[in-house]
Copies of this chain bind each other. A is one copy, B any other.
Amino acid sequence: MQDTTYAYQQLLDFTIQVFKKIGCPDTDAVTAASVLLSADLRGVDSHGVARLSGYVRLWEAKRVNATPQITVIHETPSTAVVDGDGGLGLVVAPFAMQLAIEKARNVGTGWVSVQHSNHYGIAAAHAMKALEHDMIGISMTNASPLVAPTFSISKMLGTNPICVAAPAGVQPPFVADLATTTAANGKLEILQRKEEAAPLGWVQDAEGHASTDASILKKGGALLPLGGDREHGSHKGYALGAVVDIFSALLSGANYAPWVPPFPAYVPMPERQPGKGIGHFFGAMRVDAFRTVEAYKRDMDDWISGFRNAAPIQGQEQVLIPGDPERIMEAERSREGIPLLPAVAADLKALGDKLGVVF
């Protein structure tokens, strides 16, 4: 079967209705749907509407609170800790990022750590909110454990992504959004469906040996930190994933390391809960807290065009600026619609039927 293409607005409206049906207030439903759909627009299909029924199942399992009282439980002029009250990360994260932006407006930068949240979609959706304010935005989150630290067979960290979004002038912004693993789990899932092997350096088996089995996570294997093995710097990927965990959970009081709650509702909750829910971390830095926006943007444009025009390797692509592929995809999909796999479309249809929303 072929993929069918759906207009962005159509998928957005459907998603808003679904979130309303599970009890989200209207504004929260719109916020959550916009964040979720930004993944589909940007081509991160693993984190978009394909996950909508997963969020609903978390709500059915009473692991998501549709009407959270999101509160600031601690703050200073440049920092805050937000308690997400078990709400959708898709709603809690925009609240926290907005708070970081307000603090940056007041004292130059704002840094918000979040406890008691859930999965927040793509990291870029939040960091990029800073751009319209001529601020650099930072977003990271911990996630349920799939990644073994260097020298271990135990899954101790999530894919713990980091996004840094920096504005430019006439050039489009710089948006680096990266899981701290060699490859994101979504890429493994694509290989599984195609029954293809994974490159060496992506995963290891249950004994910690190098593996090319794309299904190895179901057999006790683990994703590998960026770098792959010790000789290629996996201890650096492990350290970066650990930093995300420390900023997101140790600073907020969320669950950390192997105790982060899973996304699939059928996976039992970890035996221990040293904190509350999932943790995120957000930052906003006003450019003009450092230098004039004009001087920064002039240099940033020069930086970007310098990289874009760097001599390419013969036969390979032109040098890309972080965020280029996603921005190109967003323009295309805004215009031409978002293609969904038949299985995803069928899942949304079934979800709509169950909740009484027309897909």
Interchain CB contact under 8 A, A108 and B81: no
Q: How many copies does the complex hold?
A: 2
Chain B residue at minimal CB-CB distance from A113: B290
The residues of B that contact A76 with a CB separation of less than 8 Å are 107-109, 286, 289
> Does A35 lie at the interface of the complex (its beta carbon under 8 Å from any beta carbon of B)?
no
From A3-11, A20-28, A88-96, A240-248, the one touching the partner chain is: A240-248
Interchain CB contact under 8 A, B77 and A320: no
> Does A158 lie at the interface of the complex (its beta carbon under 8 Å from any beta carbon of B)?
no
Interchain CB contact under 8 A, A313 and B152: yes
Q: Which of A79, A151, A290, A320 has the most CB of B within 10 A?
A: A290
A residues 318-351 in Cβ contact with B at 8 Å: 318-320, 322
> Does A302 lie at the interface of the complex (its beta carbon under 8 Å from any beta carbon of B)?
yes
> Does A132 lie at the interface of the complex (its beta carbon under 8 Å from any beta carbon of B)?
no
Chain B residue at minimal CB-CB distance from A321: B242
Interchain CB contact under 8 A, A253 and B320: no
What distance in Å separates the Cβ of A359 from its nearest Cβ neighbour in chain B?
35
Chain B residue at minimal CB-CB distance from A80: B290
Q: Which of A78, A174, A227, A313 has the most CB of B within 10 A?
A: A78
- With A109-B79, A242-B174, A246-B300: A252-B290 Cβ-Cβ less than 8 Å: yes
Q: When the two chains form the complex, which single residue of B237, B249, B250, B307 contacts A149, counting CB atoms closer than 8 Å?
A: B307
What distance in Å separates the Cβ of A264 from its nearest Cβ neighbour in chain B?
23
> Does A176 lie at the interface of the complex (its beta carbon under 8 Å from any beta carbon of B)?
yes
The residues of B that contact A318 with a CB separation of less than 8 Å are 151
> Does A156 lie at the interface of the complex (its beta carbon under 8 Å from any beta carbon of B)?
yes
> Does A231 lie at the interface of the complex (its beta carbon under 8 Å from any beta carbon of B)?
yes
From A43-51, A62-70, A211-219, A291-299, the one touching the partner chain is: A291-299
A residues 267-311 in Cβ contact with B at 8 Å: 274-275, 285-287, 289-291, 295-296, 299-300, 302-303, 306-307, 310-311
Q: When the two chains form the complex, which single residue of B152, B245, B285 contacts A303, counting CB atoms closer than 8 Å?
A: B245
Interchain CB contact under 8 A, B250 and A303: yes
Interchain CB contact under 8 A, B296 and A251: yes
> Does A199 lie at the interface of the complex (its beta carbon under 8 Å from any beta carbon of B)?
yes
> Does A111 lie at the interface of the complex (its beta carbon under 8 Å from any beta carbon of B)?
yes
Chain B residue at minimal CB-CB distance from A204: B313
> Does A38 lie at the interface of the complex (its beta carbon under 8 Å from any beta carbon of B)?
no
Cα A174 to Cα B240 in complex, Å, equals 12
Q: When the two chains form the complex, which single residue of B179, B201, B207, B256 contacts A232, counting CB atoms closer than 8 Å?
A: B201
The residues of B that contact A181 with a CB separation of less than 8 Å are 233
Cα A150 to Cα B226 in complex, Å, equals 15
Interchain CB contact under 8 A, B233 and A182: yes
> Does A239 lie at the interface of the complex (its beta carbon under 8 Å from any beta carbon of B)?
yes
Interchain CB contact under 8 A, B77 and A107: yes
With A74-B291, A151-B312, A156-B310 already in contact, 11 other A-B pairs whose C-beta atoms are closer than 8 Å: A74-B290, A79-B290, A81-B291, A151-B318, A153-B311, A154-B310, A178-B235, A180-B236, A242-B322, A251-B290, A257-B306
Q: A: which residues have CB within 8 A of B?
A: 74, 76-79, 81, 107-109, 111, 113, 136, 148-154, 156, 164, 166, 174, 176, 178-183, 199, 201-202, 207-208, 226-228, 231-233, 235-240, 242-243, 245-247, 249-253, 256-258, 274-275, 285-287, 289-291, 295-296, 299-300, 302-303, 306-307, 310-314, 316-320, 322
A-B contact pairs, 6 of them (CB 8 A): A79-B289, A79-B290, A152-B313, A176-B243, A178-B240, A256-B299
